[in-house]
Amino acid sequence: MAPVLEIRDLQVGVDTGREVLSVLDGISLSLEPGRTIGIVGESGCGKSMTALATMGLLPDRFAITGGQILFEGEDLASMPDRQRRRLRGNALSMIFQEPMTALNPVLTVGRQIGEVLELHQGLSGHEARQRALDMLRAVQIPAPERRLDNYPHELSGGMRQRVMIAIALACRPKLIIADEPTTALDVTVQAQIFRLLRELQGETDTAIMLITHDLGAVAEMADDVAVFYAGKCIETGPVAQILQHPSHPYTQGLMVCTPTMRLGAAALAESPPALGEIAGIVPPVGRFPKACRFAPRCPLADDRCRTEDPPLRALGAAHAALCWKAEEEAFA
């Protein structure tokens, strides 16, 4: 099946005024309709920037400096803004992390959902309101008729995030980017939101890019995983493969950090016991090490790792890792 989203060698830079620093370096991913890709990695490794670059919403001073973002075959990176706006919120939509601040405090819920329908589907105010009501039902908000005229501050965090999802899904997008959609919510609500996303995905065949810190959520939701580190995608592959046979030392470290409870006993049995928590922190933008960016923290690093860029090694049908020693590790 033709991928709905294909990112090819994406480069994003930030202009600090003195120089342009690399934020994302050579990100490549591919996502087919109806599938979910989980993007994981520590804070600051470029997950949100990948999402925002795809949406064309990079913050001030950030810009795409190379590569392509193909959405149904058309390059979003080089598309005129006007054309990209027609896709945004329509065929391509995003759910943000902060349900408390991501909704406009002075507009009603009905208005905020209806707006995209009026804009992209040319519905009248009345029709849009009807569809907004349908959407509130679809995201399982109780007493939706009443909620239509509520303002965001009258809703709980979980309900607000449902409203965000309703906005994102209103135009039946081909692709949803969900950037840590449940981080700000408590655990029971997280599970409900994920279940909801999966159900809605089943109905519409939407592709989802799910950004999260939570490997448990990835195990539950994703078909594929991309692991990010310091602006690079260091391992990609099918979810079972990555969780059970993580090849890159960084991915292995991430597994150890995640409570085994959430990954199941299988992960516990198969993850290499040698690695402890990953020591050190992600280097900030502009201070990435020369060759392998993970080398300073990697227990397996040797001289080659510090002097030569590691290759992207294919490890199976769709499994690849950016590491000199990946192969050996995977089948050790």
Ligand X SMILES: Nc1ncnc2c1ncn2[C@@H]1O[C@H](COP(=O)(O)OP(=O)(O)OP(=O)(O)O)[C@@H](O)[C@H]1O
How is 196-216 classified by DSSP, letter by letter?
Answer: HHHHHHHHHT-EEEEE-S-HH
3-class DSSP state of 235? strand
Task: Give CA separation, 243 vs 89, 208, 263, in Å.
Answer: 32, 19, 8
The interface mask with ligand SF4, positions 259-298, x = CB under 6 A, is ---------------------------------x-xx--x
Cβ neighbours of residue 328 closer than 8 Å, sequence gap 6 or more: none
Q: Which is nearer to ligand SF4, 102 or 312 (CB)?
A: 312
Does 310 interact with ligand SF4 (rule: CB under 6 A)?
yes
Segment interacting with ligand X, rule: CB under 6 A, options 36-44, 197-205, 232-240, 288-296: 36-44
Cβ neighbours of residue 289 closer than 8 Å, sequence gap 6 or more: 283, 295, 296, 306
Segment interacting with ligand SF4, rule: CB under 6 A, options 97-105, 254-262, 281-289, 300-308: 300-308
For residues 238 and 319, give the distance between their C-alpha atoms in angstroms, rounded to a whole number: 7
**Contact (Cβ atoms closer than 8 angstroms) between residue 228 and residue 46:** yes
The interface mask with another protein, positions 54-93, x = CB under 8 A, is -x-x---------------------------xxxxxx--x
| Binding to another protein, residues 167-186 (CB under 8 A) | 167, 185-186
Does 233 interact with ligand SF4 (rule: CB under 6 A)?
no
The interface mask with Mg ion, positions 45-84, x = CB under 5 A, is ---x------------------------------------
**Contact (Cβ atoms closer than 8 angstroms) between residue 235 and residue 251:** yes
Does 249 interact with ligand SF4 (rule: CB under 6 A)?
yes
**Contact (Cβ atoms closer than 8 angstroms) between residue 321 and residue 57:** no
For residues 203 and 195, give the distance between their C-alpha atoms in angstroms, rounded to a whole number: 13
Applying CB under 8 A, the residues found at the interface with another protein are 55, 57, 85-90, 93-94, 96, 98, 101-107, 115-116, 119-120, 142, 146, 149-151, 153-159, 161-162, 164, 167, 185-186, 188-189, 192
